[in-house]
Each structure stands twice: as C-alpha cells, then as structure tokens.
C-alpha cells in the first residue's frame, strides 16, 4: 500500500469574497461639478452607493438673510447655472405673492417666453453632454451651436449670457428691444429645424441605445419616496408638471400647446427621450408666447416700487417647474427689507438622492450612464 501525503497550501485572503470601497471623485468643477460617490463593490458589481455632497456649498440660504429683496435675485440665479432665469423667477414670484402684487400682463407673457427659452438652453446642454459621457463626441457640437443661437437673443434682451439678472419684483428690468421678437422667432425656428440631429445621431445610434436601454430603471415608488421631479420623474411614468397641474404665469392659457411628456420604462433611455421631446415642446411654447406678445397693446413691463422694498410680516411658499424639476421657495418675513428666512428646495438635491436606489446591483461600467441620466447641476445640490 502506497502511503498518501497531504499537503496544505496557504491561499491567503485573496480567494475570499471581500468588498472594496471605491471613491469616485470629488472631481473638478469643469466636469459635472464636485460630487463624490462612495461605492461598495463586489467585483464589478455595485453593492451600495452613497452620494457625498456639500463640496460646493456656499451658504446661499444664509446669505439671503443679509440681502434685500432686490439683491437676493443675484444669489438665486447662480445655484443652477443652466437655469438662471427660472431660478430668479421663483424668488420674485414668492415675494410678489407675499406683497399681493399684480404683475403687468406684458411682463407675465415675457417671463413665460424667457422661461421656456431658458428651458431649451438647459436641455440642450444635457442633450449634448450625456452622449459625450458615453463616448459620443459629435452631439455636443450641435448642442452648443443651437445654444449659441438662443444665447444671443437672451443676451440681447438681458445683457447677460448665463446669469441674466432680468427679473425684478413686480416684473422685468426693462421692455424688449425694438425688433427683438422677430429675431427671437427666427432663432426658435432655426433651432427647431435642426433638432432632428439628436434623433439621428443619438437615438438612432445602436451603441447609445445598448448602453441606456433597461439600465438604471427607477420605479415610480422610488420617485415618490425621494421626491424626484422633472424629466427624471416623468420618464418613470409619474405624470406631474406644475405648468399644467398648478399653472402660473401664462401657462393656464397655453394648455393646448403644453404637452407633458412621459414614459413608462424609467431607464436611462427613457430619461433622454423625455428630455428631447420636452425640448421640442418648449420651442412650441416659446412660439405661442411670441404670438401672444404680438397681440398685446403697448404697456408697462413692471410695477413702480418704493425705494426701500419691505415685504409684510408672514410666510408663503411658491414653486415652479424648473427645467430640472420642481423648485420650491419658502419665504418668511418679519416685515423688514431682508427675508427673515428663504428656504430653497432645488430639483437636483432631491433627484441625486435616487442614486442610493439606482446604483446597487448594477455594474461599475453602467455607473456613468446612470449618473449622467439624472441631469443634475452640482451647484443646485449644494446651494
């Protein structure tokens, strides 16, 4: 009988299943902004994810308390730098509600027009940058060309390219320049005529569809749980849009033109499709506003205000359908020239929390596709 020999080989911990903690970011602001993701991985699979925010926090809400009602507009339009006009709008609507102020009809329709042009500018940035994050370079060049066309008319009317500072309590800074409506209409027509580029280059691309279809599916229950809003929520079948459901400005008279775009799939592809279709509709709404402005007789664009503006004691809440989702403004006044408290509920802050639900169970390779499909601005998260 041949004797047997047993040999024990030490294999160490490498063969055991161990989790790895991976930090994505914080990155330089010229990317998506300074956001950090703390991921726990099991091989290539994400087990848990925690978005770590606050790297760009500037304390805007605290600064509101030390600025008067004219000065806070400058702070308000900077947190989401792609939606500056819409950010200003929410603040002045809250102050006007507190004052019980009626805004001239001409200001109402001009605000609605500029808000929709701002929506297109916001969406075009993401329509170009999202394919870029997945390796598609060409769409971003088309997106920036269309943005320049609209930026030119926005700059002509306000004097600013990104931070417009055009809203005022009681209306707008000044009336539209002579001939501006004609140039704005031509710009809207030019952009609309070239929007099919995104259908051809992006939605018609097999690689893009393969990277986004059935990836990062967000259930309607998670949308409600995390307070997700805007295109991200509507891509999951949550049919809610303040412009239709609680109309403000001129949206109550635009219901025939306004189209609330939804999808049921809730994946990255659905979110991009909602954003693209919503851009088409925003251009239609801008045309409708231009038609309405052409019918209005000459009139004031703002209310005359006292040299020192004080809101009466009390509190109010105003919310708007910003390009990225619902923005809310809770204003508390003690009857002074500065707000006692102005709390900002930004769309990106809530939307980014959904990453806790979206990333676990997915592959690291799909992380960028999911992250980019939430269409957030980091300044809008950190405020």
pLDDT in tens, 309-342: 999 999 999 999 999 999 999 999 999 999 999 9
Q: Return all residues near 267 (Cβ < 8 A) that are at least 6 apart.
A: 212, 213, 214, 215, 216, 217, 218, 235
Residue 15 has pLDDT above 60, yes or no: no
CB contact burial 129-138 (16+ within 10 A = b; e otherwise): bbbebbebee
Whole-prediction pTM: 0.91
Would you state the pLDDT for residue 35?
Answer: 85
Residue-wise pLDDT for 23-40, tens only, equals 887 765 555 567 888 999
Q: Any idea which residue has 């109309």 for tokens?
A: 247
3-state percent helix, strand, coil for the chain, nearest multiple of 5:
45, 15, 40
Residue 215 and residue 268: Cα distance in Å, rounded? 6
The two tokens of residue 314 are: 């009390």
Go through the chain and tell me how many residues it has: 383
Give pLDDT, residue 9. Answer: 43
Give the model confidence (pLDDT) of 146-185 as tens digits: 999 999 999 999 998 889 999 999 999 999 999 999 999 9
Mean pLDDT is lowest, of 68-77, 148-157, 249-258, for 68-77
């Amino acid at each position: 009988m041949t004797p047997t020999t047993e040999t024990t080989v030490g294999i160490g911990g490498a063969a055991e299943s161990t989790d790895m903690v991976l930090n994505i970011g914080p990155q330089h602001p010229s990317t998506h902004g300074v956001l950090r993701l703390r991921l726990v991985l099991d091989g290539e699979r994400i087990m848990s994810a925690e978005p770590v925010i606050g790297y760009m926090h500037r304390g805007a809400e605290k600064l509101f308390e030390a600025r008067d009602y004219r000065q806070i507009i400058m702070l308000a339009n900077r947190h989401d730098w792609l939606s500056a006009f819409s950010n200003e709008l929410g603040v002045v609507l809250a102050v006007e509600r507190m004052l019980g102020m009626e805004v001239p009809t001409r200001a109402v329709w001009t605000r609605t027009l500029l808000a929709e042009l701002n929506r297109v500018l916001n969406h075009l940035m993401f329509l170009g940058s999202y394919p870029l994050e997945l390796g598609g370079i060409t769409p971003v060049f088309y997106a920036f060309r269309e943005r320049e066309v609209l930026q030119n008319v926005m700059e002509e009317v306000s004097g600013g390219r990104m931070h417009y500072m055009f809203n005022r309590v009681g209306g707008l800074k000044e009336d539209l320049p002579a001939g501006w409506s004609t140039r704005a209409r031509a710009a809207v027509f030019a952009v609309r005529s070239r929007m099919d580029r995104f259908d051809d280059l992006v939605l018609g691309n097999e690689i893009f569809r393969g990277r986004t279809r059935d990836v990062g599916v967000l259930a309607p229950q998670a949308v409600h749980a995390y307070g997700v809003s805007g295109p991200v929520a509507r891509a999951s079948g949550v049919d809610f849009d303040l412009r239709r459901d609680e109309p403000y400005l001129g949206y109550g008279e635009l219901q025939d033109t306004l189209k609330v775009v939804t999808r049921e799939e809730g994946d990255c592809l659905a979110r991009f499709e909602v954003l693209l279709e919503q851009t088409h509709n925003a251009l239609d709404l801008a045309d409708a506003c231009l038609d309405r402005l052409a019918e209005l007789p000459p009139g004031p664009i703002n209310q005359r205000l006292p040299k020192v503006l004080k809101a009466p004691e009390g509190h109010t809440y105003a919310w708007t359908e910003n390009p990225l989702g619902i923005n809310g403004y809770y204003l508390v006044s003690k009857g002074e020239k500065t707000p006692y408290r102005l709390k900002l509920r930004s769309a990106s802050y809530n939307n980014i929390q959904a990453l806790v639900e979206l990333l676990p169970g997915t592959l690291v390779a799909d992380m960028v596709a999911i992250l980019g499909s939430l269409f957030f601005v980091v300044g809008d998260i950190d405020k």
